Amino acid sequence: MDDVIRTAAKIVKDSISTIALTGAGISVESGIPDFRSAGGLWTRYNPEEYAHIDGFRRNPRKIWKMIFELMDMTRNAMPNPAHIALAQLEEMGLLKAVITQNIDNLHQRAGSKNVIEFHGNSERLQCIYCGAEYAPEEFDIIDEPPQCKKCGEILKPSVVFFGEMIPHNALMESQNLASDARVVLVIGTSAVVYPASSIPHIAKANGAYIIEFNLEKTVITPIITDIFIQGKVGETLPKFVEAIKAL
Ligand code: NAD
């Protein structure tokens, strides 16, 4: 494994344009479960119902029960060594941007500056009817869904539910970064949720090198991954950054 990490480190050190695509797996070691974690939030709330905009529209009060838990969990979570390793890589001038599917704000809290929020951020609230945005602190959110101060409708977190469009700027910027990238680090994502899953494919079609960090192989591993680094990202990413520093 150390040899594989050293090879990947050399490729990134020599690359003029490296980006990262991160998924729920990078935050599992911060205590936020991915869709598979045993006993996690998503074993109690079926994401097909609770993370779909139709479910929210049908019964927002019911979905807010899950949102209260999610917001509580993300608010209390801390960045882990994997988030910190990516912030260091950016600081070293070796990472152009992090495109994240996560909504937990942990990259920003770890110090990453250029973060593209592909699926929004749970630390903002938005009215699904008039679009007005609010900070959660503006409301006394305890167990009743907050209401829009302009039109009175129920707010939702400013995250992209299944069935909703990706924010235009995030989509365009990510696709441009992917086209220009020489290396993509694909980190803790099952790479199945479209269109985020298209990012490494766009990059590969333009000649990029794909380095994947995951506990287990994914759908892209046999198809486009050049180097697969297996293990907990809280361990493998700091090792990878140390290997770059040692070159
Ligand atoms: P996913 O749950 O489909 O896949 C997570 C991947 O991470 C898996 O391949 C798993 O093997 C890997 N993984 C888990 N723990 C790991 C670890 N410690 N080290 C290395 N790899 C690990 O997640 P996804 O691909 O991001 O797609 C699911 C969707 O769910 C995304 O759209 C995302 O917005 C949303 N989501 C976000 C959060 C969050 O914000 N933290 C949490 C759950 C779901």
CA of 194 to the centre of ligand 1 (A): 14
Ligand 1 centre to CA of 189 (Å) is 5
> Which residues 6+ apart lie within 8 Å of 49 measured at CB?
55
Angle CA 213–239–6, to nearest 5: 80
- Does 190 sit in the ligand 1 pocket, CB within 6 Å? yes
At 141 the pLDDT is 66
Enclosing H/E stretch for 89? helix 81-91
Strand partners, 133: 126
Report pLDDT for 144. 76
pTM of this structure: 0.94
Which ligand 1 atom sits closest to the C-alpha of 213?
20
The whole-number pLDDT of residue 138 equals: 87
Q: In whole angstroms, what is the distance from residue 5 CA to residue 11 CA?
A: 10
Q: Is the CB of 214 under 6 A from ligand 1?
A: yes
Angstrom distance (rounded) from CA 2 to CA 243: 9
* Atom number in ligand 1 closest to CA 189: 25
Cis ω for the linkage preceding 195 (within 30 of 0): yes
Q: Is 168 a catalytic residue?
A: no
E strands along the chain, which residues? 18-22, 97-100, 115-117, 120-127, 133-134, 155-159, 183-187, 209-214, 227-230
188 closest CA partner among 37, 5, 23, 35: 23
Side-chain-side CA neighbours of residue 114 (13 Å) = 17
What is the tens place of the pLDDT at every residue in 146-172? Answer: 999 999 999 999 999 999 999 999 999
Q: Which one from 52, 119, 168, 201 is the annotated catalytic residue?
A: 119
pLDDT tens digits along 20-54: 999 999 999 999 988 777 767 778 888 888 989 99
Tell me if 66 CB under 6 Å of ligand 1: no
Which pLDDT belongs to residue 41? Answer: 78
Determine the atom of ligand 1 nearest the C-alpha atom of 82. 19
Nearest CA to ligand 1 atom 40: 102
Q: Is 52 in the pocket of ligand 1 (CB under 6 A)?
A: no
Question: Is the beta carbon of 132 within 6 A of some atom in ligand 1?
Answer: no
Mean pLDDT of each 10-residue bin along the chain, 247 residues long: 93 97 96 79 85 91 88 92 98 98 96 97 90 87 82 92 93 97 97 94 98 97 98 98 97
Please name which of 151, 147, 161 lies closest in space to residue 130, comparing C-alpha atoms.
Answer: 151
Whether the Cβ atoms of residue 50 and residue 66 lie closer than 8 Å to each other:
yes
Does any ligand 1 atom lie closer than 6 A to the CB of residue 94?
A: no
